[in-house]
Amino acid sequence: MNGDKGLIGELEAVVGTDYVVSRSQDLVVYEYDGSVDKAMPAAVVLPSSTDEVSAVVAIAARHGVPVVARGAGTGLSGGAVAQHGGIVLAVTRMNHIIEIDTINSLAVVEPGVINLDISHAAAVHGLYFAPDPSSQRACTIGGNVAENSGGPHCLAYGVTTNHVLGMEVVFADGSVHSLGDRTRETVGYDLRGTIIGSEGTLAIVTKIVVRLLKEPEAVRTLLAVYSTIEDASSAVSGIIAAGIVPAALEMMDSLCIEAAEESVHAGYPKGAGAVLLVEVDGLAEAVEEEAAEIESVCQSFKPMEFRTATDPAERARLWAARKGVLGALGRLAPNYYLVDGTIPRTRLLEVLSAIEEISESVDLPIANLLHAGDGNLHPAVLFDERDPDELRRALHAGGEILKLCVASGGVLSGEHGIGLEKQEYMPLMFSDADMHAMAGLADAFETGGRFNPGKIFPTGHKHELGSQAGSVSRLGAGAYL
């Protein structure tokens, strides 16, 4: 396609010559996302409107080339990697907050809007957008919809699908449709819910109606520091067993603490084995009561330190350490491979112990960052990609962790999606019949296999082999694509 000047010319006629990238030296920045996978697209198109997206998709359909939607490229499962070339459709120019409806507590936004910018715009009205991925300062709402992203506060408030009311989408023939509405309840099939989490394989989202929440009257952020991860895990179980569902319940192990402390200086004591970051919000009286109950539970497991942050500056510092920890891991190793699996909370200590054994078996450190309240694990395998053997061992460790999550009664992904990263492990959870039924959705949406092909379902791509481009072995009759 690099040599198809006719196609490039058609794309340029739609969005302008400045917004079509086709030179190989310029395409390099679009060959990867936040995962370890890489593949070069043939062209990148940056539309500015639904009409331009529709026209680009129609051109792609006529030429029979794939289209991969891309937001900020912060995804962690290879979802925005153009494994089969084709057009990357980057929505970063579609970054307008179209409306904030304070009466109905909703916002209408374009897919390139940064997650945190929605809350910033809504804050003047006493409202905010609840889903808060750790990358919320960079990730786009379109990417959040594609992966059904969560975040620390999803324990109490749910993930993206719980906060999207409706959307405008472009189908594979270029036609534009509205799914859902501006209200919670709609009739007919929930096609809105089907699109959310479909990783760009069914439609391209061009507008999103999101639900906004009223800012809570009071917030308390609690920090409990423990000498061992066992004590911290026990405290997590104790909080949930007490019938408390805090807004957030996060855990970081000693490696995460080391990296975050050097970067943010949150004041964690040396020698800490794990920290719990717990947040409660709501009415002032209820917050005070819940905070006291949580402190009582945490104190029963003998923390090294317990701290309550009530002023905004202290709260911001504690959250900066938590949300900045992945970037801070660069102080410990050049690269990390972040795994995303979810397990029952009751198996937390058992699984963390098994992850330590995996770390020892591959001779690579693994830093554990957890949405502990809902059992969503984020083990980060630390390695140096310049050493092919370290890359191989890191990917092997990631696969073993995913197998461990499923064997423990959990699932392959809590919020990052399947993408390229986890597709070979789908048979751990689903039979061939299950996957063929799910893959049939692409036929129902008449995508022709052109929207983000080669994602989610097994294709023969083996992460354990360290393949960066992937190999497709299940094409033709009976394929998942």
* pLDDT over threshold 50, residue 351: yes
DSSP 256: H
Where is average pLDDT lowest: 184-188, 228-232, 442-446?
Answer: 184-188
Q: Are residues 344 and 300 in the same domain?
A: no
Give the C-alpha separation, 236 to 374, whole Å: 10
* pLDDT over threshold 60, residue 466: no
Q: Which two tokens stand for residue 260?
A: 């975050």
Where is average pLDDT lowest: 4-13, 24-33, 66-75, 179-188?
Answer: 179-188
pLDDT tens track for 401-440: 999 999 999 999 999 999 999 999 999 999 999 999 999 9
Q: Are residues 373 and 384 in the same domain?
A: yes
CB 298 within 8 A of CB 251: no
Instruction: Dihedral sign for Cα 364, 385, 150, 280, please.
Output: positive
Q: Are residues 198 and 229 in the same domain?
A: no
More confident residue, 96 or 3: 96
181 domain residue, yes or no: yes
State the helix-helix crossing angle for 348-362 and 388-407, rounded to 10 degrees: 160
Q: Are residues 9 and 74 in the same domain?
A: yes
3-state secondary structure of 232: helix
- Calculate mean pLDDT across residues 4-18: 93
- Calculate mean pLDDT across residues 182-189: 85
Give the C-alpha separation, 257 to 391, whole Å: 24
Q: Which two tokens stand for residue 209?
A: 């109606």
More confident residue, 43 or 185: 43
* pLDDT over threshold 60, residue 229: yes
Query: Nearest to residue 340, comparing CAs of 270, 414, 429, 392?
Result: 414
CB contact burial 48-85 (16+ within 10 A = b; e otherwise): bebebbbbbbbbbbebebbbbbbbbbbbbbbbbbbbbb
Query: Nearest to residue 61, comparing CAs of 138, 162, 174?
Result: 174
pLDDT tens track for 238-270: 999 999 999 999 999 999 999 998 888 888 888
Query: Nearest to residue 220, comparing CAs of 307, 101, 334, 149?
Result: 307
CB 331 within 8 A of CB 380: no
* pLDDT at site 3: 46
Q: What are phi and psi of 85, to 5 degrees?
A: 70, -145
Q: Which two tokens stand for residue 200?
A: 């760009």
Where is average pLDDT lowest: 153-167, 220-234, 314-328, 403-417?
Answer: 314-328
* pLDDT over threshold 70, residue 299: yes
- Calculate mean pLDDT across residues 377-397: 96
Q: What are phi and psi of 45, to 5 degrees?
A: -120, 135
Confidence of residue 461 (pLDDT cuts 50, 70, 90): low
**How many other C-beta atoms can be found within 10 angstroms of the C-beta atom of residue 33?**
23
Confidence of residue 474 (pLDDT cuts 50, 70, 90): very low
Where is average pLDDT lowest: 192-206, 211-225, 328-342, 453-467?
Answer: 453-467
427 domain residue, yes or no: no
Query: Nearest to residue 420, comparing CAs of 351, 337, 356?
Result: 337
CB 371 within 8 A of CB 345: no
CB 455 within 8 A of CB 438: no
Rounded mean pLDDT of the chain? 92
* pLDDT at site 44: 98
Give the C-alpha separation, 338 to 37, whole Å: 12
* pLDDT at site 91: 98
Query: Nearest to residue 379, comparing CAs of 252, 236, 228, 266?
Result: 252
Q: Are residues 271 and 321 in the same domain?
A: yes
* pLDDT at site 270: 81
* pLDDT over threshold 80, residue 6: yes
pLDDT tens track for 63-122: 999 999 999 999 999 999 999 999 999 999 999 999 999 999 999 999 999 999 999 999
Q: Are residues 313 and 365 in the same domain?
A: no
133 domain residue, yes or no: yes
Q: Which domain holds residue 261?
A: 218-327
* pLDDT at site 463: 56
3-state secondary structure of 99: strand
Give the C-alpha separation, 236 to 89, whole Å: 42
Residue after which a domain boundary falls, among 169, 184, 215: 215
452 domain residue, yes or no: no
* pLDDT over threshold 90, residue 36: no
More confident residue, 313 or 2: 313
Give the C-alpha separation, 58 to 172, whole Å: 7
Give the C-alpha separation, 335 to 340, whole Å: 16
pTM of model > 0.85: yes
286 domain residue, yes or no: yes
Looking at the 3D structure of the chain, how many domains does it have? 3
Helical (H) or strand (E) element with 165: strand 164-170
Give the whole-number percent of the chain exceeding pLDDT 70: 95
Give the whole-number percent of the chain exceeding pLDDT 90: 85
* pLDDT at site 266: 80
Q: Which two tokens stand for residue 94?
A: 């579609």
Q: Which two tokens stand for residue 327?
A: 């970037």
Q: Are residues 69 and 187 in the same domain?
A: yes
450 domain residue, yes or no: no
Residue after which a domain boundary falls, among 385, 407, 429: 407
∠ CA 410-416-419, nearest 5°, is: 100
Where is average pLDDT lowest: 127-141, 319-333, 371-385?
Answer: 319-333
Q: Are residues 269 and 372 in the same domain?
A: no
Q: Are residues 106 and 191 in the same domain?
A: yes
Give the C-alpha separation, 67 to 192, whole Å: 20
Confidence of residue 462 (pLDDT cuts 50, 70, 90): low
Confidence of residue 471 (pLDDT cuts 50, 70, 90): very low
Q: Are residues 229 and 270 in the same domain?
A: yes
Residue after which a domain boundary falls, among 196, 215, 234: 215
More confident residue, 478 or 358: 358
Q: Are residues 185 and 246 in the same domain?
A: no
∠ CA 291-295-298, nearest 5°, is: 140
- Calculate mean pLDDT across residues 359-366: 98
Residues near 246 by beta carbon (within 8 Å), at least 6 away in sequence: 155, 156, 239, 278, 279, 280, 290, 294, 373
Q: Are residues 278 and 196 in the same domain?
A: no
Q: What are phi and psi of 177, to 5 degrees?
A: -140, 155
